[in-house]
């Protein structure tokens, strides 16, 4: 598959209200173009970015995971989004990759946002995850991960970086800068979806979801998606990316290192 059509769902979420959020996202999913193969929901889309992990966390057999499985199957699209998950007495900000045939892969957020105390209420992930979609290699990340280029270093391992977020409006410029930087330095497409509105903790979010080409070209301009609900669909061309990489093979001169 040379092209990939994905949709980003930028919206406000309802604080600590999984059932209400599921209903809301169903309404948005009804508006996703039939051509879209992958739908990306924001970080903690079922509850908002809450530190009440013991209160809101679900299990992998919980209602929101079941809902994602149902929606992926009924719509024949991959669904991707994070939620609070409890597993063996630990809590994770877990990004799920849910396939139409029922398969689930997941990535647990590695970098926990200490300025909100996230590291006190959730456990960090241990592994970076790259999923495959018909020849597309897709790296999964969550919000604060975007600030850490070593963790997201490509090493010619992925073609698209996805970042789901609750990124405050006060740092909107940084959000846009980092999305573009990760695209350029990794010579990969980079897609970021953020929320809008004010959450239950009083934090204001400005949206600014966007998509960048591996050469830094703006494919979906975050400036056109500020402070409003948006359903954003874009088709990416893998052959075009590969042509750029061959013509300008930066990765051949990259420094080698190993994370310990």
Domains for the chain: give ranges and CATH numbers.
Answer: 3-249 (3.60.110.10)
Give pLDDT tens digits for 160-172. Answer: 999 999 999 999 9
Separation between Cα atoms, residue 37 and residue 78, nearest integer Å: 6
How many Cα atoms occupy the beta-carbon half-sphere of 164 within 13 Å?
A: 28
Percent of the chain at pLDDT exceeding 70: 100
Q: Which residues are catalytic?
A: 43, 109, 143
pTM value surpassing 0.95: yes
Q: Give the N- to C-terminal CA distance of the chain in Å, as an integer.
A: 35
Maximum alpha-carbon separation in the chain: 52
Q: Is pLDDT at 135 greater than 90 in this prediction?
A: yes
* Residue 24 · residue 11 · CB < 8 Å: yes
Separation between Cα atoms, residue 241 and residue 63, nearest integer Å: 38
* Residue 27 · residue 244 · CB < 8 Å: no
SS3 label, residue 90:
strand
Give pLDDT tens digits for 44-59. Answer: 999 999 999 999 999 9
């Amino acid at each position: 598959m040379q092209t990939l059509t994905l949709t980003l769902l930028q919206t406000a979420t309802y604080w600590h209200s999984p059932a209400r959020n599921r209903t809301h996202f169903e309404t948005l999913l009804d508006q996703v173009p039939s051509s879209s193969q992958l739908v990306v929901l924001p970080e903690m889309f079922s509850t908002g970015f809450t530190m009440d992990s013991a209160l809101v966390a679900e299990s992998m057999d919980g209602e929101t995971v079941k809902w994602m499985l149902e929606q992926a199957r009924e719509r024949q699209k991959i669904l991707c989004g994070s939620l609070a998950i409890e597993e063996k007495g630990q809590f994770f900000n877990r990004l799920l990759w849910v396939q139409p045939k029922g398969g689930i892969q997941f990535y647990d957020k590695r970098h926990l946002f200490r300025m909100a105390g996230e590291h006190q209420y959730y456990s960090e992930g241990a592994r970076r995850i790259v999923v495959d979609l018909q020849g597309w290699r897709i790296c999964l990340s969550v919000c604060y991960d975007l600030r850490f280029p070593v963790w997201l270093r490509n090493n010619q391992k992925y073609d698209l970086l996805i970042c789901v977020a609750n990124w405050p409006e006060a740092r909107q410029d940084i959000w846009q800068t980092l999305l573009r930087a990760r695209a350029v330095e990794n010579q990969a497409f980079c897609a970021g979806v953020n929320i809008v509105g004010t959450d239950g903790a009083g934090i204001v979010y400005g949206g600014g979801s966007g998509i960048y080409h591996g050469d830094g070209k703006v494919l979906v301009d975050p400036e056109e998606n500020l402070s409003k609900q948006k359903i954003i669909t874009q088709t990416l061309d893998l052959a075009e990316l590969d042509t750029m990489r061959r013509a300008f093979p930066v990765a051949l001169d990259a420094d080698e290192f190993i994370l310990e």
